[in-house]
Structure 1
């Protein structure tokens, strides 16, 4: 079975059932290891960055190695066992259905005029404080999360799976998990999570730029403002603290004709962010659904691109 066919099947499984809470998702165990390592080895000392380096190396190598070992063992058992194992691991790397479902939960609360419920729901998605957010800020938070994670949680894993199969895809998911857990610029994690954050920036460099381009193309097929999406992508792609997140955010802001970014509160501290896009219209709950359409459109386009490249390189077999 080709790697591409396995990717397609994994994506279909994710589209159908997402990430069931009962399923023993590998990222849960990655998170447990990170927490154990931090409890065991974190100390405020001069070499804390090197301890963080050790955390990053051991977590990524263990993730890659265990995945490769599982596939090797499954292949020794039977080729069918290998196929199933390979597809299941790839499936756990993709967050398309889960991301869309979580965003729709916020949309539903806003549609029911339950702002308090929407604030609570969006709190599960973002690190910023949400208990005082106005409706427009809730909408922005969801949209920014959806488009950033289109790159981090969908396009990037698929990109690395296409290059190096399930082991490389799982290694990427581990890098992303490390960044989400220790990659903060606060007092505790600024040094300890430095390597994890930098590695995540490096790993997402190409996928983020691909995602921005895919979103421009997807906006054309979705009859959104693709010209403005391209314009804002070129103009505002660097208007973000992250070297990568500005690409999907700027393309989305242009396609939807809205402005993202601005000030937010993180861990009790106001963080000022540059704005992305033009304030042509207020951000409303409808734009949450539009961002989900962009996410899905970009993902489908990427998979079609992979299929096209495979046919171009190997022909139709």
Structure 2
């Protein structure tokens, strides 16, 4: 066996998950997401025209998506294939692991929300508001303690899918090129995927494609969260797993997004709280349905509990990835195909 040949993809995937679980990706000048954002901003300035018709702007939005997704996805695929054909499969494998754990953002998300908790534990509400403003788009300058906690839990629960489950889903499905494509769409959605001017039409394609790509992973997130933590939560709440499952399913669509409410609903029933209910964006109040049937007034213990669930969820995925890798490796050794 060639010692410089790349290991099976299952091992590369596991090493990427291990990197995110143990260390987490760190943003730097040439980080793929930073480059995607810069490319998106350049094309946005090129395509955004206030006097253009809605239809024209939507077609420009399609070109915006293609102009960011295709270069990163296709260039990555081409580079990995060229390295492999040049006998540098080990380098292609190293890049796969490096980019993989950089684009899985579970540890990064936990760190940002933990910063909010640390400020609250020190009774520094101003610091907590400022820290929260880095991860949410709502107005945070006048939020009370419960509102800060609600915003942090909503960001953590909503992004459980966007930062961890969905990227891992597409990484496993199509390797780094498909993961790059998903992250490019997600980055564009966060930049231009708004229903308000001037992005209503230009961001339409980015928002719809992001909804489509997140559809299956969002429902998988809800299912995994309930299967992993539902039984212990039902005992703590003195109810049944069936009741918790029914509550989560009945609330999962109480969100403007077709996907964001799924993981939020899971967190709400696991913690016994209510999320949603509206927030202020650009000094304008936006009313939203409630998600969950529990308490409206939230405490620091609720945020700590949400972080505990998320931390255990990340480690559970790490363990499941390790078990799957061990199984596939044994299958390979025994003459099967990975």
The TM-score bracket by the shorter chain reads over 0.9
Structure 1 unaligned spans of 5+: none
After superposition, residues 148-163 of structure 1 pair within 5 angstroms as: 148-163=158-173
- The equivalent residue for 1:256 is 271
Structure 2, gaps ≥5 residues long: 1-6, 235-239, 334-338
Q: Which residue does 1:40 correspond to in 2?
A: 46
Deviation, structure 1 residue 237: 0.7
Shift of 1:295: 2.3
| Contact kept in structure 2, 1:215 and 1:297, CA below 8 Å | no
Deviation sequence 1:98-123 (CA, Å, 0-9, x none) = 11111110000000000011000000
Deviation at 1:42, TM superposition (A): 1.2
Q: Secondary structure at the match of 2:280?
A: strand
Matched, 1:206 2:206: no
Alignment match of 2:66 (pick from 37, 48, 57) = 57
**Superposition pairs of residues 1-317 of structure 1, within 5 angstroms:** 1-22=7-28, 24-44=30-50, 45-46=52-53, 47-75=56-84, 76=86, 78-220=88-230, 223-225=232-234, 227=241, 229-280=244-295, 282-302=297-317, 304-305=319-320, 311=327, 315=331, 317=333
| Cα deviation, residue 255, structure 1 | 0.3
Partner secondary structure for residue 30 of structure 2:
coil
2:200 is paired with a residue of what secondary structure? helix
**Number of aligned residues:** 316
- Secondary structure of 1:204's counterpart equals helix
Tell me, what secondary structure is at the counterpart of 2:134?
coil
On the 8 A contact 1:257/1:281 being kept in 2, the answer is: no
In the aligned structure 1, how far is the partner of 2:111 from the partner of 2:43? 32
Q: Could you tell me whether the CA contact under 8 Å between 1:214 and 1:302 is conserved in 2?
A: no
Identify if the C-alpha distance between structure 1 residues 303 and 316 changes in structure 2 by more than 3 Å, giving closer, same or farther: farther
Q: Quick one: structure 1 residues 229 and 92, their matched pair in 2 at CA, closer, same or farther if it must change by over 3 Å?
A: farther
**Structure number with bigger Rg:** 2
Q: Once structures 1 and 2 are overlaid, which stretch shifts more, 75-84 or 192-201?
A: 75-84
Tell me the TM-score normalised to structure 1 length: 0.93
Contact 2:104 2:163 in 1 (8 A): yes
* Distance in 2 (alpha carbons) for counterparts of 1:259 and 1:71: 46
CA distance in 1, matches of 2:49, 2:230: 51
Q: Within 1, Cα distance between the matches of 2:311 and 2:320? A: 14
